[in-house]
């Protein structure tokens, strides 16, 4: 009794609701994950010797501004060709793909708190030791370190999806989901911008890894003190918020009676496969931009290292603003009855596919008009922000109980493009010319549109019957009357009719 009253007194100091605190810390988790992930994309432009490749005379690259420092365009001490750089940049995703499904399953079984926090902590550790590893083992050691970072970070999105399914009501899902996932854009902004500032002002490239690795450790400490896996286990949540979440979610803790993950239903679900297609399209375009845009800015447009960091981050600032604003808009349109969840997910996903596809290709035809190129890339990434109230929160719609596993599957399969895309870019741009990059952007155009078409045709925003497989099996096999969502009942009846 004493402990309970003491906890309630402490809860009064939290002006912000605990579910919003969780969303903010989730946002910071993804932000830190992205700064540690993409900092190499800027740093590698200073690590690698850049005196090879196309020249201004053969028309393959843009001229250097007269006011620029020539030293910014010579690079560093490592003689790594474009193909090896592609392998280095993609190696993070070799590990990243592996831990998605285990991370989702662990989060569903034991809660998302430690699955998320320990993953970020391990990524921070390997980020901190990156300079030491490269000094000892060169490119091979860097590849190993990047794989280990990926293994740690692979749990991030599945664990966060499990946490949000436990904490965030459906009516706040687009808004708070866009806030959480918007950490990717802010992390990219800060990763690019601060990397450029650090590399410009501090001798050598090691400072980038020390700075962002240190921030990851700081986040771990704060998160473990403030956040918990579910409302029931949170010691400082107010009674008012608990009552609200109980009303909206129906429960304050994870359902520990759920049977094992219904893999057969999930992997044969048409809406699930449509979601995977959309994720592949999103990730291909996003990883091309996150991983290789700084190289395009440096090698083709010939921006200085400081300007590279600035202009590489600008598109993600706009993307973040768009993701937050359209998240609020999506929630309002759905809760006011102006559109269904399914239509809303399809609409915002389509905007996020067609818009970037067109503007990225347009940027490749703008030549050396640097202001125009930056503007077109900014429009492209800005519109990509509508992915977040679109397909990014769709796993929570399809199955709140197995949201971690669904996010693990979609994000894990999508992350395979993170392995393929940087390597493909490295192979296709050996001389890093405008013409070579134009082909890369046309391939992205095709992938965006084909995957979006599949999502438009087959996606759904409705809870699937396999969200409660134990109840579904009862209904199908015994014909019992059970309390499941109306849309799930319809699907159960359809399955029953098929069996008969």
Q: In whole numbers, what is the pLDDT of the chain averaged over residues? A: 81
pLDDT for residue 9 = 59
Structure letter (DSSP) for residue 230: S
Residue 459 has a pLDDT of: 93
Per-residue pLDDT at 151: 94
**Structural domain of 133:** 16-55+68-228
Q: 188 vs 250, 296, 362, CA distance in Å?
A: 36, 16, 22
Q: Which of 91, 164, 154, 115 is nearest to 392 (CA)?
A: 164
My answer on whether 187 and 335 are in the same domain is no
Task: Please tell me whether residues 291 and 155 are part of one structural domain.
Answer: no
Kindly state the percentage of the chain with pLDDT values over 70: 83
Share of the chain above pLDDT 90, in %: 30
pLDDT tens, position by position, 129-142: 999 999 998 889 99
One domain, residues 221 and 267: no
pLDDT digit string, tens, across residues 233-251:
888 788 888 888 888 776 6
- pLDDT at 213 > cutoff 50: yes
Residues 46 and 133 reside in one and the same domain: yes
Q: Are residues 89 and 158 in the same domain?
A: yes
Q: Based on the fold, state whether residues 203 and 269 are members of the same structural domain.
A: no
pLDDT over threshold 70, residue 14: no
Q: The dihedral of CA 474, 158, 407, 232: what is its sign?
A: positive
Q: Indicate whether 309 pLDDT > 80.
A: no
- Rounded CA gap, 329 and 157, in Å? 23
- Same-domain pairing of 177 and 290: no
What mean pLDDT comes out for the span 238-265?
77
Q: Is residue 437 part of a domain?
A: yes
Q: Within a domain: residue 75?
A: yes
Flag whether 35 is in a domain: yes
Do residue 283 and residue 171 come from a single domain? Answer: no
Place 480 in a pLDDT band, splitting at 50, 70 and 90. Answer: very low
Last residue of a domain, one of 184, 212, 228: 228
Name the band, by pLDDT with cuts 50, 70 and 90, for residue 331.
confident
Beta partners for residue 48, in sequence order = 78
User: The tokens 């998240």 sit on which residue?
Assistant: 327
Is position 476 within any domain? no
Rounded alpha-carbon distances, angstroms, from residue 174 to 80, 159, 281, 343, 393? 43, 18, 20, 14, 7
Q: Where among 205, 228, 251 does a domain terminate?
A: 228
Asked whether residue 222 is assigned to any structural domain, the reply reads yes
Give the residue with greater pLDDT, 229 vs 457: 457
For the chain, the domain total comes to 2
Instruction: Examine the pLDDT at 121 and tell me if it is beyond 90.
Output: yes
Q: What pLDDT score was predicted for residue 200?
A: 79
Is it the case that residue 54 has pLDDT exceeding 60? no
Residue 487 within a domain:
no
Cα(389)–Cα(105) distance, integer angstroms: 24
Least confident of 179-193, 249-263, 374-388, 449-463: 249-263
Q: What is the mean pLDDT of residues 37-52?
A: 78
Banded model confidence at residue 276, pLDDT cuts 50, 70, 90 = very high
Q: By mean pLDDT, which of 62-76, 180-194, 305-319 is the weakest? A: 62-76
* pLDDT at residue 365 tops 70: yes
Q: Between these two residues, 194 and 254, which has the higher pLDDT value? A: 194
Q: Taking 80 as the threshold, does the pLDDT of residue 475 lie above it?
A: no
CB 153 within 8 A of CB 120: yes
On whether both 302 and 187 belong to a single domain, the answer is: no
Q: Three-state SS across 175-210?
A: HHHHHHHCHHHHHHHHHHHHHHHHHHHCCCCHHHHH
Of 228, 254, 280, the residue that ends a domain is: 228
**Structure tokens, 6:** 């003491």
Would the pLDDT of 481 be above 80?
no
> What integer pLDDT is reported at residue 496 of this predicted model?
34
Interval 381-429: pLDDT, tens: 899 989 888 998 898 889 888 887 888 889 888 888 878 888 888 888 8
Q: Does residue 453 sit within a domain?
A: yes
Do 218 and 163 sit in the same domain of this protein?
Answer: yes
CATH of the domain at 101: 1.20.1250.20
Domain membership flag for residue 85 = yes
Q: List, for residues 148-188, the tens digit of each pLDDT value.
A: 999 999 999 889 988 888 888 877 877 888 788 888 878 88
Percent helix, strand, coil in the chain, to 5, is 75, 0, 20
Is 0.75 surpassed by the pTM of this model? no
Same domain, residue pair 302 and 186:
no
Shared domain check, 266 and 319: yes
């Amino acid at each position: 009794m004493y402990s309970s009253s003491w906890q309630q007194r402490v809860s009064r100091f939290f002006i912000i609701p605990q579910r919003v605190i969780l969303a903010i810390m989730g946002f910071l988790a993804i932000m830190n994950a992205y700064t540690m992930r993409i900092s190499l994309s800027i740093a590698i432009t200073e690590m690698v010797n850049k005196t090879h490749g196309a020249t201004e005379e053969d028309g393959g690259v843009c001229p250097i501004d007269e006011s620029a420092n020539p030293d910014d365009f010579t690079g560093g001490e490592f003689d790594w060709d474009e193909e090896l750089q592609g392998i280095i940049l993609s190696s993070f995703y070799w590990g990243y793909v592996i831990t998605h499904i285990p991370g989702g399953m662990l989060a569903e079984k034991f809660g998302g708190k430690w699955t998320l926090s320990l993953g970020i902590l391990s990524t921070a550790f390997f980020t901190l030791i990156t300079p030491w590893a490269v000094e000892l083992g060169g490119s091979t050691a860097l590849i190993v370190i990047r794989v280990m970072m990926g293994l740690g970070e692979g749990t991030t999105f599945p664990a966060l999806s499990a946490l949000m399914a436990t904490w965030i009501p459906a009516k706040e899902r687009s808004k708070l989901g866009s806030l959480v996932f918007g950490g990717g854009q802010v992390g990219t902004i800060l990763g690019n911008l601060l990397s450029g500032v650090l590399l410009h002002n501090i001798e050598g490239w090691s400072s980038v890894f020390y700075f962002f690795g240190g921030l990851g450790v700081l986040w771990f400490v704060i998160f473990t003190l403030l956040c918990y896996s579910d409302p029931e286990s949170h010691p400082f949540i107010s009674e008012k918020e608990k009552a609200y979440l109980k009303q909206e979610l129906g429960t304050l803790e994870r359902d520990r009676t759920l049977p094992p993950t219904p893999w057969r239903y999930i992997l044969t679900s048409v809406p699930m496969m449509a979601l995977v297609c959309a994720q592949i399209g999103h990730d291909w375009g996003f990883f091309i931009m996150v991983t290789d845009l700084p190289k395009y800015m440096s090698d083709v447009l010939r921006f200085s290292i400081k300007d590279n960091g600035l202009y590489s981050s600008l598109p993600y600032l706009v993307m973040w603003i768009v993701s937050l604003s359209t998240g609020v808009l999506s929630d309002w349109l759905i809760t006011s009855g102006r559109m269904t969840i399914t239509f809303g997910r399809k609409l915002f996903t389509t905007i996020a596919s067609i818009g970037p596809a067109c503007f990225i290709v347009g940027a490749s035809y703008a030549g050396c008009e640097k202001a125009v190129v930056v503007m077109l890339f900014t429009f492209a990434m800005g519109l990509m922000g509508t992915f977040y109230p679109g397909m990014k929160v769709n796993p929570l719609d399809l199955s709140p109980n197995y949201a971690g596993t669904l996010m693990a599957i979609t994000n894990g399969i999508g992350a395979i493009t993170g392995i393929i895309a940087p390597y493909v870019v490295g192979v296709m741009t050996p001389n890093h010319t405008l013409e070579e990059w134009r082909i890369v952007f046309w391939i992205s155009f095709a992938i965006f549109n084909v995957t979006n078409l599949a999502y438009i045709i087959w996606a759904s925003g409705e809870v699937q019957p396999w969200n409660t497989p134990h109840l579904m099996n009862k209904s199908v096999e015994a014909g019992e009357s059970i309390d499941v969502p109306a849309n799930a009942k319809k699907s159960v009846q359809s399955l029953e009719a098929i069996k008969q």
